[in-house]
Amino acid sequence: MKYLSTRGDAARPRFCDILLEGLAPDGGLYLPERYPRIDDAALTRWRGLSYAELAFEILSLYIDDIPPADLREIVSRTYTAEVFGTPDIVPLTRLDGDRGGLYLEALSNGPTLAFKDMAMQLLGNLFEYELGRRGETLNILGATSGDTGSAAEYAMRGKRGIRVFMLSPHGRMSPFQQAQMFSLQDANIHNLAVEGVFDDCQDIVKAVSADLAFKRDKRIGTVNSINWARLLAQVVYYFAGWLQATTSNEQRVSFTVPSGNFGNVCAGHVARMMGLPIERLVVATNENDVLDEFFRTGRYRVRGSAETHETSSPSMDISKASNFERFVFDLLGRDAQRTKQLFGDDVPRGGFTLDAAEHARVREFGFVSGRSSHADRVETIRTIAQASGVVVDPHTADGLQVAAGLRGPEPMIVLETALPAKFSATIVEALGREPSRPAGLQDIENRPKRFTVMPVSVDAVKQYIAQNTR
C-alpha cells in the first residue's frame, strides 16, 4: 500500500515513512492511494474476533512494511484489558431500552480517560518499534485542545528515542486536563502553554512541519490526527461498534461524533469508504460551529481567535478543522489541484465556499450535522443520567443532543469522548454533585506542575525545541 498527498506531491511513500513524517512535504495530508473494500465474507469472519484481532485485520490492509507477526504482536500488546479496563475494549451501552437502538460506544477507558487513548497507545508502540528498527530518534510536536496532549504524553512517556513537545492553549483546558499533562515529570515530556487558542497551536505545528530543513534536522514528527497512523487506528472502533450493534451484514447503523478537528469522524468516513454499512455520519459541534455551517451551506468559514468561543466542551473549541482536508479531497473526486487551491494560504484568511454541485455531493458521503449549546449540554447530561443512570461528559452530551434531533429508524451509535471526571464543573451544574473519579486520580489538580508559557510564535517554539534537543 502506498500513500499520496491531498495536495499532489509526486512521492508515494509507504506506511512506516508517513508514520514518522506526519504532514506531506507539500503541506498536504496523507491518504492511501485507494481504500481497501471489505466484502461480506470478511464481515462474517470478523464477527466474534477480539478487538485486538479485529484491529490486526484492518490495520494489515494498510500496513505492508511491518512483518505480520510483528504487527500482530504490537496490536495484541496495545489493546488489553489491563490498559483499557475491560476485555471488550469498546463496549456498547444501550441508552433507550428497547425503543429503537440508541447506543453509547465507550472509548474512554484508557489511561487518560479520553477516546484519544484508542489510537495514541498504538502510536506509542508503533513509534518505538519503527525507531528501534531504524536506530533513530524522533521529536514529536503536537497541539491539543485538551485530550490529545495527555493521551500522547502517557503513550510516549519513557519511550526509547522519543521526546514530546506538546502545545496547548494557556488557561483554556479544564483543571483536570491541565493537571493530567502538566503534572508529568518525565524528562522526555515538554509542555508548552501558548498564549492563544487551539487553532494558534495547530498553526504553529503546521508551520514548523512545513519548514522542511528544520523538520528533518530536528527529526520532527506528529501525533495529531494529521498523522495518518492515528486516524487509521480510529477506524477500528467503527467496525467494532457496528459488529456489536448488528446481527446481520445487511444491517446499517449511523454514528454521531462530537467533532472539532474532524479527525474522529474522518475515521468514520474511511470506514464507510471501505464498505462498512454506515447510513449516516452525524457531525456534532458546539458553539464553534464551523463544521455544521459547512455541511448545511457548503461554506467553510474559518474563524480567528477572537471568534473562537470558550465553551464547556473545550476540546471542541476549534474553528479550523485540520483533518477536514482529507474529506474534501475525497469529496472533490481526489482532485489534488482543487484541494490545494482551497486549503492553501487563503484558508486562514476566511475559508472557501463550494459550488452547488460540489456541495450536493456531501449527502452522497452520508454526512449530516447539528450544533449544541451549553444549555443543551447541561440538560442532556441531566436527562441521560435520570433515564439511564449513565453520566456523560459535556462533549458526549453534544453528540447525544444532536443525535436526538437527527435519528432515523436505524440504530444510532454515539461515540463517547471522555469520562465526566475530566469536566467536573459542568457535571456539578447539571447534577449537583461531583462525578466519580478512577482510583489514584482524586488529587491530580494538586500535584506539582511542569510547563513553559509561550507566546503565539513559531520562532519561539522552534528555539525551544532546538535548545532541548541538543
Please give the positions annotated as active site.
116
Query: What is the distance, to the nearest Å, from the Cα of residue 139 to the centroid of all Cα atoms in its chain?
Result: 20
**Three-state SS sequence of the chain:** CCEEECCCCCCCCCHHHHHHHCCCCCCCCEEECCCCCCCHHHHHHHCCCCHHHHHHHHHCCCCCCCCHHHHHHHHHHHCCHHHHCCCCCCCEEECCCCCCCEEEECCCCCCCCECCHHHHHHHHHHHHHHHHHHCCCEEEEEECCCCHHHHHHHHHCCCCCEEEEEEEECCCCCHHHHHHHHCCCCCCEEEEEECCCHHHHHHHHHHHHHCHHHHHHCCEECCCCCCHHHHHHHHHHHHHHHHHHCCCCCCCEEEEEECCCCHHHHHHHHHHHCCCCEEEEEEEECCCCHHHHHHHHCEECCCCHHHCCCCCCHHHCCCCCCCHHHHHHHHCCCCHHHHHHHHCCCHHHCCEECCHHHHHHHHHHCEEEEECCHHHHHHHHHHHHHHHCCCCCHHHHHHHHHHHHHCCCCCEEEECCECHHHHHHHHHHHHCCCCCCCCCCCCHHHCCCCCEEECCCHHHHHHHHHHCCC
d(CA 446, CA 315) in angstroms, rounded, equals: 22
> 174 pairs with which residues across the strands?
none
Query: Can you tell me which residue has the cell 504490537?
Result: 74
Residue 82, all three cell numbers: 489491563
Q: Determine contact, residues 275/42, Cβ cutoff 8 Å.
A: no
d(CA 94, CA 98) in angstroms, rounded, equals: 9
